[in-house]
A and B are shown apart, each in its own frame.
Chain A
Amino acid sequence: MINFEEELKRYQPMPEVNQAEEAIYNNDLRDISDIITQVTEEIKQVNASQANQYAGRMRR
């Protein structure tokens, strides 16, 4: 049987025309290229920090 209260929670208010900008930002989702870019950046940062640590050890 349908639980009215539970079902009603699934309905969200509709964006009005003055909230279109917000809707545009929400719809601009991340795709594969964004994920690859992010992963590449993270790898670069990890490599850079490891290189710094290695250089520090070498100085000692």
Chain B
Amino acid sequence: MATKRPVLCPNCGAQIRKNGYCSGCHMPMQVLRKAYNTSDYYYNVGYDKASARDLSGAIESLNMSLRYNKKNVMARNLIGLIYYEMGEIVMALSHWVLSVNYQTTNNLASHYLKELRQDPTQLDNVDQIAKKYNMALGYAQSDDYDLAIIQLKSTLSANPHFVKGYLLLSLIYIQRDNYEKARTTLRRVLKIDKANPVAIHYLHEMGSTDENIIQMRNESVEDDGLFEDDYTEEIAVSEEQAKNNGGSIGSQLIKAITDHYKENTVKMGAFGEVRFARYSGLYVIVGLVLGILLLFFVIVPSQKKKLKKENEQLTKEYSEELAVKNASITELKSEIDSLNAQIDNLLNMEVGTDNPMPDYSDIKSGMSDEDLQNMISNE
């Protein structure tokens, strides 16, 4: 006889009673099932919107899905993926971490997190992007629009899918009455998120119709010149105006300056794609060569100079000492000569007299020199 398997509560895992309430968390199963069904419904809506690249709409639906069931792992993973696509990596991370917390095995989020963990430079870049965006926001709030634009362009060249950055940049361009640039920026937003409500609001405010917006979505964003230097563009605009005014010398001058700038301008996007890691070996060799050159041309000569100076000082000291010693030797030699002369004189005097020198050999030892001298003088 087949036994009936007990129905378990999806919330806490305890057994469901016959009255339809959970024995563990006392939840009414009917309500819970409805909530979970609604959550799945919103997940499906969100999935459809995400498939149609309506990312903002998808986020809204998926958030609704999580309101009904926060443990809906599929909804969590998808919302994380959408945030990742829109350049908000920290938000994506937080959703994936929660997802793994609710379901540890057989979860796509653990794969995503593993991918992120394997590339630590990506996390560094994410941190830099967040910092730069926050700085740009601060600059915009304090009316430093040029600095804000520079920071935002740097952020967007690092992550060309950063929707928030594009929206802020377009707002700044609108504030500066640069509507063409604002439209170009918003076109990029619509390429990533087709129905971004903020982008559509800005475009409507700038006078674009719904048809224009639909057309904009299909236009290419490559080589739209968004990351080109604003100054170059201003010169180009001046050139066009000069041409219209029929200026000859002025227009030629402007053309020459523009050409010069076009030749020498480094595109920010291109700069961001340069892989410096490729040349790391070369950098090490150049560093070593520079180090060796520094050693031979700066450090070694200075050491030599120092040693030479010390040597000279020592030589000087020793020669002075030698001179003093030589002087003392000469003095002592002359003293010896004079004493020898005295001895000779005394011997001659002794030979020339009948009265020989008294014999003091019997004198007891212990006499002082003074007594001896007195004795000699008495004699």
Contact = CB atoms under 8 A, between A and B. Distances in A.
A14 B88 contact: yes
B200 interface: no
A26 B95 CA distance: 10
Interface stretch (B123-131, B249-257, B299-307): B123-131
Interface in A32-57: 32-34, 36-37, 40
A27 B93 CA distance: 11
Given A11-B137, A14-B134, A31-B35, A20 B94 contact: yes
Contacts of B140: 8, 11
Contacts of A32: 31-32, 35, 67-69
B66 interface: yes
B78 interface: no
Interface of A: 1-2, 4, 7-8, 10-11, 13-20, 23-24, 26-34, 36-37, 40
Contacts of B129: 14
Interface of B: 11, 25-28, 31-32, 35, 39, 66-71, 88, 90-91, 93-95, 97-98, 123, 126-127, 129-131, 133-134, 137, 140-141, 164, 167-168, 171, 174-175, 198, 202, 205
Contacts of B31: 32, 36
A14 B255 CA distance: 42
A30 B68 CA distance: 9
Main secondary structure of the interface of A (DSSP, over half): helix
Given A14-B134, A40-B26, A28 B171 contact: no
Given A14-B164, A17-B130, A20-B90, A27 B69 contact: no
A19 B32 CA distance: 33
A7 B91 CA distance: 22
A2 B202 contact: yes
A29 B11 CA distance: 15
Given A14-B133, A16-B127, A33 B27 contact: yes
Contacts of B95: 27
A57 to B, nearest CB: 28
Contacts of A15: 90-91, 130
Main secondary structure of the interface of B (DSSP, over half): helix
B35 A33 contact: yes
Given A31-B35, A31-B71, A32-B68, 14 more contacts: A2-B205, A11-B164, A13-B137, A17-B90, A17-B127, A19-B90, A20-B90, A20-B93, A23-B90, A23-B94, A24-B98, A27-B95, A29-B66, A37-B27
Contacts of B131: 16
A14 B130 contact: yes
Contacts of A17: 90, 123, 126-127, 130
7 nearest A-B pairs in the assembled complex, by CB-CB distance: A32-B35, A23-B94, A31-B70, A24-B94, A14-B130, A17-B127, A13-B134
Contacts of A27: 91, 94-95, 98
B188 to A, nearest CB: 17
A35 to B, nearest CB: 9
Contacts of B171: 2, 4, 7-8, 11
Contacts of B175: 4
B379 to A, nearest CB: 112
A1 B88 CA distance: 29
20 contacts: A2-B171, A2-B205, A7-B171, A10-B198, A13-B137, A14-B129, A14-B134, A14-B164, A17-B130, A18-B127, A20-B93, A23-B90, A23-B93, A23-B94, A31-B71, A32-B31, A32-B32, A33-B25, A33-B27, A36-B28
A24 B97 contact: yes
A16 B25 contact: no
Contact of A14 (B67, B90, B98, B174): B90
